[in-house]
């Protein structure tokens, strides 16, 4: 009886003590800024191995740093041009940066830091984009319920391409005038701010009147 009771207590403790991973939001913790004293080398995944004078030696010597916002190519061979530029930038004997800063440091995977890298006051990621050596990663937030943003089937449809095959007439969302899809006014219209119709009746049912230029 005591053995069964002990087992039950252990099971209850495990259930109540185990955190629910879905209930714990992901929090990105920042660890401030630090100055790089020496860059030793770069690897094929575009990680800088460097010394950070502000950190204790056990952490700050020969530590890998990933450039925040930079997504290297999956194939290391495709990173060669980028690595050559960074190698000249950080390891050139003649013209090394005077000041290399890590900004907004985060903890990365496998004991690697992730940070914005600033060279003599210029953001390194911006410099690489300017040189057309890299692209910055930008995450687009998705709506909580994308389906709720879709128009009902009986509602006037908005097309991304004004001259779609089934769209004979077009109007600006903010205008009371509709045009033929071939009208000069229609061609100057912003596709994201336009509405298309397949018939005149559909356009006029929204309270719009025909254009006096194309006379649909």
Closest by CA position to 44, among listed 86, 106, 107, 4? 86
How would residue 73 be classed by pLDDT, with cut points 50, 70 and 90? confident
Residue 136 binned pLDDT confidence (cut-offs 50, 70, 90): low
- Whether 2 has a pLDDT exceeding 80, the answer reads no
DSSP one-letter code for 7: H
Residue 20 has pLDDT above 60, yes or no: no
- DSSP string spanning 23-71? TS---PPP---EEEEEEEEE-TT-EEEEEETTS-HHHHSSEEEEETTB-
Residues in the chain: 216
Q: Nearest 5 degrees, angle CA 133-CA 51-CA 100?
A: 50
**Rounded distance between C-alpha atoms, residue 31 and residue 159, angstroms:** 46
pLDDT of residue 64: 94
Q: Could you tell me the pLDDT band of residue 75, with boundaries at 50, 70 and 90?
A: confident
pLDDT score for 203: 87
Among the ranges given (37-51, 88-102, 148-162), the one the predictor scored with the smallest mean pLDDT: 148-162
Residue 27, pLDDT score: 63
Q: What is the pLDDT of residue 100?
A: 92
The pLDDT value recorded for residue 168 is 85
Instruction: Determine the pLDDT at residue 62.
Output: 92
pLDDT tens-place string over residues 24-68: 555 678 888 999 999 999 998 889 999 998 888 888 899 999 998
pTM of the model: 0.50
pLDDT tens column, 167-178: 688 888 888 899
pLDDT the model gives residue 102: 93
What ranges make up the beta strands (E) of the chain?
Answer: 34-42, 47-52, 63-67, 100-107, 113-119, 122-123, 169-172, 177-180, 194-197, 209-210
């Amino acid at each position: 009886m005591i053995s069964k009771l002990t087992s039950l207590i252990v099971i209850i403790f495990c259930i109540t003590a185990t955190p629910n991973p879905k209930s714990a939001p992901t929090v990105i913790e920042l660890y401030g800024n630090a100055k790089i004293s020496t860059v030793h080398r770069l690897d094929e995944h575009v990680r800088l191995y460097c010394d950070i004078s502000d950190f204790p030696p056990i952490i700050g010597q020969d530590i890998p740093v990933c450039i925040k916002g930079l997504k290297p190519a999956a194939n290391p061979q495709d990173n060669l041009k980028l690595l050559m530029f960074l190698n000249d930038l950080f390891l050139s004997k003649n013209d090394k940066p005077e000041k290399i800063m890590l900004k907004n440091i985060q903890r990365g995977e496998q004991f690697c830091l992730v940070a914005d890298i600033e060279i003599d006051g210029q953001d390194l990621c911006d410099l690489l984009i300017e040189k057309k050596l890299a692209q910055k990663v930008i995450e687009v937030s998705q709506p909580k319920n994308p389906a709720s943003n879709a128009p009902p089937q009986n509602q006037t449809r908005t097309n991304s391409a004004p001259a779609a095959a089934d769209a004979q007439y077009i109007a600006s969302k903010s205008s009371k005038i509709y045009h033929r899809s071939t009208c000069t006014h229609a061609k100057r219209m912003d596709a994201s701010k336009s509405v298309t119709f397949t018939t005149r009746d559909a356009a006029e049912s929204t309270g719009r009147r025909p254009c006096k230029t194309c006379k649909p």
